[in-house]
Amino acid sequence: MPKIIAVILELTVCICALWGIIFLTTFLHELGHAIGYMISTGGRRWHIRVGSGPRLLKTKMLTVKLFIFDGCFEPAEDKVDTRAKLVATLAGGPVVSLVLVIALLFLKFGGVSVNSAVFAESAIKSFVSFALFCNVFILIQSVIPAHYFYGEIKGMETDGRKIINAITAKNKNGDPEQ
């Protein structure tokens, strides 16, 4: 019986760790949008939602839901009044995801060693690989100019499509917007 409990505990810890990695990946991507927004507009009021389904946590600036496979950044104030501010806000998420991919590639292939038991080292390498996969996935799916096909963001435009639309937008006279 103790082996079954140990297996259940290890499985539970593993599932929680994987959930945490996906949450952090999504949260940091959305936080990148917030950073782009704050730098370009000076605005400090915004909200990030990570996930869909049943709500686990809600604060003034963050909502966390159980199924953490999508996220959304929403400024509380409409300070994005120029094309440059919009592009900076939209590009913040993919830029943070790219930085995370580079950092995780360095961790995975840069010769960083873990001085611990073989099992712990193997587990850490597996979690780094999973985090790398998650960040590459979010980076690619956010920059491809398309619509999302899942979660609460289903049907919404990706960051890449919004950036292209912002760059190519024209005003009522058919002239490019400023």
Q: How far apart are CA 167 and CA 46, in angstroms?
A: 23
Residue 106 identity (one-letter amino acid): F
Q: How far apart are CA 20 and CA 25, in angstroms?
A: 8
| Domain positions in the chain | 2-168
Contact 79, 42 (CB under 8 A): yes
26 CB burial (10 A radius; 0-12, 13-18, 19+): buried
User: For 9-54, what is each residue's pLDDT tens digit?
Assistant: 999 999 999 999 999 999 999 999 999 999 999 999 999 999 999 9
User: For 83-130, what is each residue's pLDDT tens digit?
Assistant: 999 999 999 999 999 999 999 999 988 766 656 555 567 888 899 999
Q: Which DSSP state fits 113?
A: -
